[in-house]
Chain A
């Protein structure tokens, strides 16, 4: 399958940056994650993810000293620029509203690349969800090799059934995204599953092919 080949190729060809972080790659291979949902863990918690789409393959590990922010490192195989690098990432919870039936979040996200501060990104991520409904958006402004571009996405979803704690939970979602380097919006269905500490999300669109996220919290 395209996704499997993509990830395998990533790990075979990825050049580990000279930072002694090979251990991270191994951990990230064993555990996996999703990059957008829940970008901050609980206080003292860590999250590991694998991500693959038409722009990049990556492995991301972050730690949350507080529920308000997370610090992490993401190893990226950039498909568009055909480059490998690491991103040092910082995510901050700007706003959260909890009610009895819903939660709303707004995050600031940023990252600086290992090959220079000129290569970085910053943006906003927001979501609102109940046990039945989900809606979210993501916006990133990226500078890479003196080229500035944006990534935008919106996502809505519904849970076809309401599982109890410990059950397998399923979401049926619709995602639309646009990278300004590619000029067209791509809209496609996404399925999200999670059980316990493990989350898996997969989507497919004709224009952008496969999106896949795998995540574990510990």
Chain B
């Protein structure tokens, strides 16, 4: 039993340091930009499938920013989504972040200077154990 336990621990620890990819890392995703043409239906969240009131509250007070709306799989509880907020807030170009649990979306307000890269967002979402599957960018 001791040998089995030791071997199992060694194997699993080796695996942990190996590839950090998640099985569904390469899930198909959509990247759609609304840069430069904000219009009412988008702003009120209807076409983005974001809770309209939540979206309005999010953009309230933001005069100039890029809004990244990220579709996330596996974001089923508040407690497990907390890491997403903490991870993105480390980026100085993130002005604000919010989570819409009911729609499975993460809203990120970036500075205008930020070049928004889906791969970077995807990596941060995976670091929290979920998968980013789509991105829409709005410009305020």
A168 to B46 Cα, complex, angstroms: 26
Instruction: Please give the distance in Å from B83's CB to the nearest CB on chain A.
Output: 3
B62 within 8 A of A: no
A44 to B88 Cα, complex, angstroms: 12
Instruction: Please give the distance in Å from A173's CB to the nearest CB on chain B.
Output: 14
Instruction: Please give the distance in Å from A176's CB to the nearest CB on chain B.
Output: 22
Number of residues of chain B lying within 8 A (CB) of chain A: 41
Task: Check A110–B82 contact: CB distance below 8 A.
Answer: no
B45 within 8 A of A: no
A68 within 8 A of B: yes
Chain A's interface size range is 35 or more
Chain B residues with CB below 8 A from A66, complex form: 16, 20, 127
Interface with B: A20-28, A55-63, A192-200, A203-211, which one? A192-200
| Contacts beyond the supplied A42-B82, A66-B20, A167-B78: 12 A-B pairs with Cβ under 8 Å | A42-B129, A43-B128, A66-B16, A95-B23, A98-B73, A99-B73, A103-B80, A110-B8, A129-B76, A162-B102, A163-B101, A165-B99
Seen from chain B, the residues whose Cβ lies within 8 Å of a Cβ on chain A are 1-2, 5, 8-9, 12-13, 15-16, 20, 22-24, 54, 73-84, 86-87, 98-102, 104, 126-131, 133
